[in-house]
Amino acid sequence: MKTNDVILQTTAKVVFFIIFLFSIHIFFTGHYAPGGGFVGGLLTTGAIVLLLLAFDLRTIQQILPFNFTIVTAIGLLLALGTAAGSIAFNVPFFTHAFDDFTLPLFGTTSLHTAMLFDSGVYLVVVGSAITIIQSIGGDD
């Protein structure tokens, strides 16, 4: 039976942006505060799952037309590439580098290559979690 989910759908549309914004915040503060790639990725997954609960699987595949298996692969490549990049500078595998940069809007920011590794973790978490949920949910 199909019931009228107008309240759930309208609320999910609003709450999605709040959760997504919070996941980005958690992702970027990971270096100095609790958070990081894993939690940020899980929160993003949670936001997408909320949309999946409110709408159906086909709608979500239309608005997020990514192949999430490839997203996982890109994340793994990014993490491996960041770790392997240190070899080119004649330092041991997995050695990170950082420096302070003055960016136009952010002021003085310390940019760290651990951030790139973190975005790899983020993409792997989002990709694999959404792949699991889509393959369990979509049985047609």
Sites of contact with another protein (CB under 8 A): 3-4, 6-7, 9-11
Q: Which is nearer to another protein, 10 or 109 (CB)?
A: 10
Torsion of CA 21, 22, 28, 29, to 10 degrees: 150
Q: How far is the CB of 116 from another protein (least distance, A)?
A: 33
Q: Name the residue nearer to another protein (CB basis): 13 or 31.
A: 13
* Cα atoms in the 13 Å half-sphere on the side-chain side of 12: 17
> DSSP states of 5-23 as a string?
-HHHHHHHHHHHHHHHHHH
Report the alpha-carbon distance of residue 12 to residue 7 in Å, rounded.
8
The CB-of-54 to another protein minimum distance in angstroms stands at: 12
Q: Which is nearer to another protein, 10 or 135 (CB)?
A: 10
Provide, rounded to whole angstroms, the least separation between the CB of residue 75 and another protein.
36
